[in-house]
Chains A and B, each alone.
Chain A
Amino acid sequence: MSAKFSFTALAAVCAMAGCKDDGIRVYRVSKPEATPPAAMPAMPAVSAIPEEGNTQISDKPPTGWKAQPRTAMRQASFLVNGSGGGEADVSLIRLGGPAGGVLENVNRWLGQLGRAAISEDELTRISEMRKVPLGEARIVDLEGLAEGADSQKDGRILAAMVPTSEGTYFFKMRGNADLVSAQKSDFLDWIGSVRMGGAEQGALAP
């Protein structure tokens, strides 16, 4: 094999190997059917974060809640559709430790709803405590609509935080204000049904 031929072949191969797609695509797609952004599916329980992603839980979700695939952070995820076209996204996330504290998280949610932050005293006034199988839940019901937000998918956050020895559990329902209000009883029942262990875990077919 001549040196000239070898060089030509090597240069061609390196040039081909160096060809890169710009990796940018533009699609026009139909609007997601009853899918608020946070409910977009991600991978199932195949995760590199065992301490945050795959603790077994068991629960009894209300009828009418559509189960969504779990993500690396979400241990449970549901989509709720209202009769008037409203939508709500329900999630259960566990984070290690105090996870930033209750006040910081509540203020972050208020910011998402376009509202100003509140003080610790105000938080105490608007939150309620409830005993659930996982521990003491602190429940907040926040309402507001950020500028430009879609009122069919946003406007109210109903959340519960349960600190445990393994971390803090965050239960959250966010969506259309009327729908979230109507679903409050079901949401609280669901929190009361969540227990550690005994979950039916997914499996891949052989």
Chain B
Amino acid sequence: MREFWHRVVNVLASLRLTLVCLSLTMVLVFVGTLAQVSSSIHDVQARYFESLIVWWPLPGGGGSVPVFPGGHLLIGVLLLNLIAAHAQRFRWEWKKLGIHLIHGGLIILLAGGLLTDFFSVESFMKFAPGVTRDFSESQQEIELAVTDSSASELDTVTTIAGSRLRRGGEIAAPSFPFRILVRDYFANSRVQMLAQAGPGAMPAADHGIGANVAVLRVAQATAPNERNVPSAIIEVRDDAGKSHGTWLVTDQLGAPQDVRMDGKSYRLEMRPTQYYKPFSLTLTKFTHDRYPGTEIPKNFASSAVLTDPERSENREVLITMNHPLRYRGHTFFQSGFDQKISILQVVQNPAFLAPYIACVIVGLGLLVQFSSHFFAFLQRSKATRSAP
């Protein structure tokens, strides 16, 4: 066993592993870049770079096979490789301070990259003046929300991630008294009125809006400014297995539907994934200036009231293009606007300082390393000149 772990450490610390990982990373970046021709950048990132393994779907829908290490695996192995090599080979000496600093900075950089990928969340908060928001929304991810509004004070919202709907099967949760069977999932779709869809078009579902429309499966969006419009056809069944109809859920309609069960109404709504906050922002004023005579944006500014009952905060804040609001691990950037709606980009990244710290440490390490060589060179040349 001891020999096994000894070999593990030797492999992890080997320079050969470094070269293999760097070579594979280059191939991965090349292939991932080419893949953006047929897939959206979001899908490529998820499949090639934010994964341990790149899976390749077998023709005919017969599953997937692993074909290549993903970005997370390669960066993780490189990180381990760097730590193992440092621990195995380097001994503390003042004259190697620069090398130690450079390695330390690289370790922080790689670890920070992984932490950012795993834990950072980017979303958007969109509101008009006078509107209060205590949640932000994903630009890409969607979820099916089942809302029970029967309680007088708080709503109970159960969200089912789009990735879960995509997997299909039966979904149950203790917060609603029925089961959801995913009959079909459309990664990108168009909804058309039945008469518009042409002869032979079938209703998407037998309850709700789905009884009046047809849903069409279309190719997934690939352009950077496009996004998919996912839809799903679900069947609602009670605990006894009795069907309460099929329903079309899609964020294309912008209108939720009500399912009644046990005398209560439950709202079904496909929507962009929402991230709830323990505080809220109320937009009081939004201004956007343009350069005179052009449509080129010059400045955006959102005045808002930040309210946080937990921390007894109730103050005015100003968010402009180059002055984001940082609060409770969130950074709010003024991102854009849509008519009179202010759009804030909301970033939660617990490792946002890692690249700055890493760059400072690596820079310091390079300075120390090159300075020590430089001063050693000066001393040698001084000794050479003073030699008889």
A contact set with B: CB distance below 8 Å:
1-2, 4-5, 13-14, 16-17, 20-34, 37-38, 40-49, 52, 66-74, 77, 79, 91, 95-101, 104, 108, 148, 199-206
Contact = CB atoms under 8 A, between A and B. Distances in A.
Interface in B81-119: none
B17 to A, nearest CB: 9
Interface in B124-144: 126-132, 134-135, 137, 139
B239 interface: no
A100 B193 contact: yes
A14 B321 CA distance: 43
B212 A29 contact: no
7 contacts: A34-B131, A42-B251, A43-B137, A67-B340, A71-B252, A79-B131, A97-B195
B334 A205 contact: yes
A27 B157 contact: yes
Contacts of A201: 339
A148 B171 contact: no
Contacts of B156: 26-28
B105 to A, nearest CB: 27
B195 A28 contact: no
Contacts of A200: 339
A72 B127 CA distance: 17
Given A26-B157, A26-B173, 18 more contacts: A17-B53, A17-B66, A17-B70, A20-B163, A26-B175, A28-B157, A43-B139, A44-B341, A49-B229, A68-B128, A70-B338, A104-B212, A202-B336, A202-B343, A203-B337, A204-B335, A205-B334, A206-B297
A67 B265 contact: no
Nearest to B220: A48
A45 B297 contact: no
Nearest to A52: B190
B160 interface: yes
B229 A72 contact: yes
A24 B128 CA distance: 30
B66 A24 contact: no
Given A5-B7, A205-B297, A23 B195 contact: no
Contacts, number: 198
B310 interface: no
Contacts of A77: 254
Interface of B: 4, 7-8, 11, 51-53, 66, 69-70, 73, 126-132, 134-135, 137, 139, 149, 153-161, 163-164, 167, 171, 173-175, 188, 190-196, 209, 212, 218, 221, 225-229, 251-256, 258, 260, 265, 267, 269, 271-272, 276, 295, 297, 300, 321, 334-341, 343
A79 B130 CA distance: 11
Contact of B341 (A17, A68, A205): A68
Give 9 closest A-B pairs by Cβ, nearest first. A23-B164, A23-B161, A100-B193, A202-B338, A44-B338, A204-B336, A17-B52, A37-B256, A71-B254
A71 B212 CA distance: 20
B196 A98 contact: yes
Given A99-B193, A203-B337, A43 B300 contact: no
A40 B229 contact: no
Contacts of A202: 336-339, 341, 343
Contacts of A48: 188, 218, 221, 226-229
Nearest to B139: A43
A1 B158 contact: no
Contacts of B196: 95-100
Contacts of A99: 193, 195-196
A203 B339 contact: no
A24 B171 contact: yes
B73 A13 contact: yes
Given A30-B154, A41-B126, A205-B300, A100 B341 contact: no
A128 to B, nearest CB: 23
Given A37-B255, A40-B271, A66-B131, A29 B338 contact: no
Contact of A100 (B4, B52, B212, B340): B212
Contacts of A37: 255-256, 267, 269
B3 to A, nearest CB: 10
Nearest to B163: A23
A29 B157 contact: yes
Contacts of B253: 73
A67 B341 contact: yes
Given A30-B154, A46-B227, A17 B134 contact: no
A24 B271 CA distance: 14
Contacts of A49: 190, 229, 252
Given A37-B267, A38-B255, A48-B221, A24 B160 contact: yes
A21 B161 contact: yes
B126 A69 contact: yes
Contacts of B130: 66
B226 A46 contact: yes
Given A29-B154, A66-B130, A43 B339 contact: no
